[in-house]
Amino acid sequence: MNLLLVMMLGVCTGLRTMTPVAVLCWFAYRNVLHLTGWRSFTANIIAVVVFTLMALGEYIGDKLPSTPSRTAAVGLAGRSLFGAFVGLVLAQPLVLNPAAAVVIGIVGALIGTYAGWFVRTRTVMALKCPDLPVALVEDALAIGLSITFLHLVVVHSALFAGNEGFWLR
């Protein structure tokens, strides 16, 4: 279950790179998810603001015609990097091997990248509609799924409440 949660948040990273990180920062800032050590920077208001602004910028940039494809090398590298980051941060509360969490985060990000691209392009073709409405639905899915899966991380990590560093408030 723990690795599945990391994979699903990786998939969300494949849809929108910054959304899961921004949501994770909000969870940490609101003391819903308590992280210790180097991970605690995610609870800082500066991290919350920076990653939230980056997510908002990504929502805008995604709609611009000049934006390169998410499947281009730069897009894949960024999504993989942040998928790995989400996995590494969540290894603590989910009591996972950090290396396994990083790999699963990357795999999830790659799955989300290609699946999101495929579904979005096919939906636009099938509905014969502009890209914008489908892109907005994808934004909403990335936000909603990130919140849902991080909530499940918090609930699931409460099962291991005896371990130092996290709890459900």
Residue 169 has a pLDDT of: 39
pLDDT at residue 166 tops 60 = no
Give the count of domains, the chain. 1
Specify if 107 maps to a domain.
yes
Report yes or no on 120 lying in a domain.
Answer: yes
Does a structural domain hold residue 73? yes
**Which amino acid belongs to residue 83?**
G
Distance CA 15, CA 159 (A): 29
CA distances from 169 to 17, 23, 155, 157, 161 (A): 27, 17, 10, 12, 11
Instruction: Please check whether residue 168 lies inside any domain of the structure.
Output: no
CA distances from 117 to 1, 70, 72, 150 (A): 26, 7, 11, 23
Q: Would you say residue 132 lies in a domain?
A: yes
pLDDT at 91 over 60: yes
What are the E-state strand segments in 103-164? none
pLDDT value, residue 162: 54
For the segment 97-125, what is each residue's pLDDT rounded down to a tens digit?
999 999 999 999 999 999 999 999 999 99
CA 2, CA 17: separation in Å to the nearest integer?
Answer: 21
Residues of the domain holding 42: 2-160
Question: pTM of the prediction?
Answer: 0.90
Q: What is the mean pLDDT of the chain?
A: 93
Q: Cα–Cα distance between 106 and 38 in angstroms, integer?
A: 20
In the prediction, which pLDDT does 3 show? 94
Residue 161 has pLDDT above 90, yes or no: no
